[in-house]
Structures are given as structure tokens and as C-alpha cells.
Amino acid sequence: MLLQPNMASGSSVVEVTLESTLKNIEVAEGIARGVCATAGLDEDDAYKVEMAVHESVINAVEHGNKNDANKQVWLRFEIFGDRLEIRVRDQGEGFDVTSLPDPCAQENLLKISGRGIFLIRSFMDEVRVENITGHGAEVTMVKRLNSKSQRHQGGNAREHEGHSTTS
């Protein structure tokens, strides 16, 4: 799978559509790892991006698509000059991000779940959640690139081999 140059924006893009299964979490992480390397992220930022992708795909598979393997998770990684932008979309019913309880509130500290979106927000520079009618929820995550890490501008570095169809 290749990062494709996007002439209009001057960015490089890779899109994948994965079957909505938990084993594809590692596939998504692997793609994220490759994209981070191409974007020139250091180890610490790459770990944060991989973690954010890991958590967002878990959310898409479990909460969005309700573990229905007939549904899909769509991912788009786009490297701009100043940022890496990642979008993860499920085929669920969407959710209200403002209704999520604060996992750091004293009364929620000992809850077993509910930290996924919180970690994504902690690890990425910008996070947006949109509910797209008929398409489910789409999480957009941005990691800014510093000047030293701008190694890739519309190139065609080889990425992780996909297990999916390109949408």
C-alpha cells in the first residue's frame, strides 16, 4: 500500500477499509506505525499516535459497530506539511461525545471502562467527533509535526501492507 500524493492539498494520503474485527486493531496500528515513520515522528509521538489509533479502532469496532463483523471501519491517514491527520469512521449510530463522563472525576476513578476517548484527547493535539448521518461516527485526530519531522511532502514511501480494500 502506498501513500498517495494529494495534488490539491499537497499532502500524502492512505485510506483503508477494515472488517470490523478486533484482530484488525493491530493491522490499523501497523499502518499507523508506518505512517508515523514516514511523517518523521519521534518514538514518543509515534507511540501516542499508535495508541490513539488503537483506542479509536476499538471504539469503532466495539461501540460503533457493536462487534458486527459485517460492518467496516474506515481509516484515512493524511500527512500535511505541518500535521498528521487521522480519521476513523464506523458504521454505527454515532454518539454524543459531550455525554461521556469524566474518567478522572473522583466518582469515576475506579470505573473499569470509559477512558478511551480521554486517552485519545490526551495523546493527540486536536480531536473532533462528528456524527455523519447514515455513516456512523467519525473521529478526526491531529498530531502536529515540528519542523524537524517534516520529512515527507507528497512522496510515495512504501507503507504497511494492507489487509483491506481501499475505499
**Contact residues: another protein, CB under 8 A:** 22, 25, 47, 51, 54-55, 58, 103-104, 109-113, 115-116, 118-119, 122
Q: How far is the CB of 140 from another protein (least distance, A)?
A: 19
> First and final CA of the chain: distance in angstroms?
13
Please, which residue, 111 or 158, has the CB nearer to another protein?
111
Please, which residue, 121 or 163, has the CB nearer to another protein?
121
Please, which residue, 39 or 120, has the CB nearer to another protein?
120
* Strand ranges in the chain using DSSP code E only, listed in sequence order: 4-6, 11-19, 72-79, 83-89, 126-132, 136-144
Q: How far is the CB of 123 from another protein (least distance, A)?
A: 9
Determine if residue 92 is left, alpha or beta; phi over 0 gives left, psi from -120 to 50 gives alpha, anything else beta: beta
Q: How far is the CB of 139 from another protein (least distance, A)?
A: 14
Tell me the sheet residues that pair with 83. 144
